[in-house]
Amino acid sequence: MDMQYRRLGNSGLKVSALSFGSWVTFGSQIGDDVAENCMKLAYDNGVNFFDNAEAYASGKSEIVMGNILQKMQWDRSTYVLSSKVFWGGKKPNQLGLSRKHVMEACHNALRRLQVEYLDLYYCHRPDPETPIEETVRTMNDLIAQGKIFYWGTSEWSADQITEAHTIAEKHHLIGPTMEQPQYNLLHRERFEIEYAPLYSKYGMGTTIWSPLASGLLTGKYNDAVPGDTRINHKGMEWLKEKTVGAEAAGRIEKARAFSSLAKELGTSSAKLAIAWTLKNTNVSTAILGASKVEQLQETLGSLEALELLNDEVMKKIEAIF
C-alpha cells in the first residue's frame, strides 16, 4: 500500500503517516550499517520524517544519522528532520530550556546532523526552572534566523502547551505546532482526553512515539523476554520494569489477547497496533523504531491493516484493553 501523507496539525507541512526514529538504537544498540539500511528502506517506502534528539546516545545518534544523510545525498526538500532539546549534558547550563541551552543545543544538532536547518525542533520535556516565555521567544528567534522551521513540545501538559500558545498570541510570536507524546493501546489518556481541546483550539499536530508500547504490543514478550531486545539494553532498566515488570502482568495478558485477534484477522499484532494509532485523526505520524531491518520491513506495512479496523474490530480491541 502506498504511503499516506498527513498535514502536521494546521500547518502546511506534510509528514508521512509512518516515520522513523533513532531513539535507543542509533549510536548504541545497532551498528551504523543497520541504521543506514533502515533509513534507506524507510525512505524508499515513502517515509519522509526522521526523528532524533540531543539526548539519544548523548549526541551519537545525531552523528550517525548525519553521516547517513550525507552519504545518501537525498534532496533536502524531500525529508523532514527533527531534533529535541533538554538533556545536553550534566553541567548546569547543559540541561533544560534556557535561552542559552536551547540556542547552543540547536547549533550542536545542526553540526552533528550536518544540515543547515531543522524542520522540527522540540522541547523534549517541560522545564520548571525556565519561564515558558523565555523558551517561546528563543524558539521564535530560531525560526526567524532560519535555523528551525517549526517548534513543538514533547510530553508537556495541556496547561503548559496552552500557556505557550497564550504567550505567543499575546506577543505576536510563533507558538508550538506539534506535540510528541507517547500513544498506544496501553497509554491513551493524555492523548485522547487531556490533549483533546488542543487539537481544535490550536490545531496541534502530533508525532507519536512508542506506538508498540516498547515492543509489548508485537507479542514478543507474550511468553518470555528475548535477550536481544531494547529493554535489556544498559540504562533501560526503567523501561523494562514498565514494560514487563511486576506491575505489567495484566498488560501481557492483554497483549496475548490482542495477538490472537490479529492472527484471526490475518495480520500481525505490530501492524494492527500501529494501524490502530493511525485510525485516530489527531495522529499526524507514528514514529517507528527498529533494531533489525526485518522489523522495519514489517511495520512499514502497517497501513494495510487500517482497512481491517471496522467498527466491529474496533469494539473487539476496546473490549481487550
Q: What are the catalytic residues?
A: 56
Q: Grid cell 522540527 — which residue?
A: 120
Q: Grid cell 553521516 — which residue?
A: 67
Q: Is the dihedral of CA 119, 124, 125, 127 positive or negative?
A: negative
The torsion region of residue 24 among left (phi > 0), alpha (psi -120 to 50) and beta comes to left
Residue by residue, what is the 3-state secondary structure of 108-160?
Answer: HHHHHHCCCCEEEEEECCCCCCCCHHHHHHHHHHHHHCCCEEEEEECCCCHHH
Q: Grid cell 526522521 — which residue?
A: 50
CB atoms within 10 A of CB 73: 7
CB 22 within 8 A of CB 61: yes
Beta strands in 205-319 (DSSP E): 205-208, 285-288
CB atoms within 10 A of CB 229: 19
CB 300 within 8 A of CB 288: yes
CB 207 within 8 A of CB 287: yes
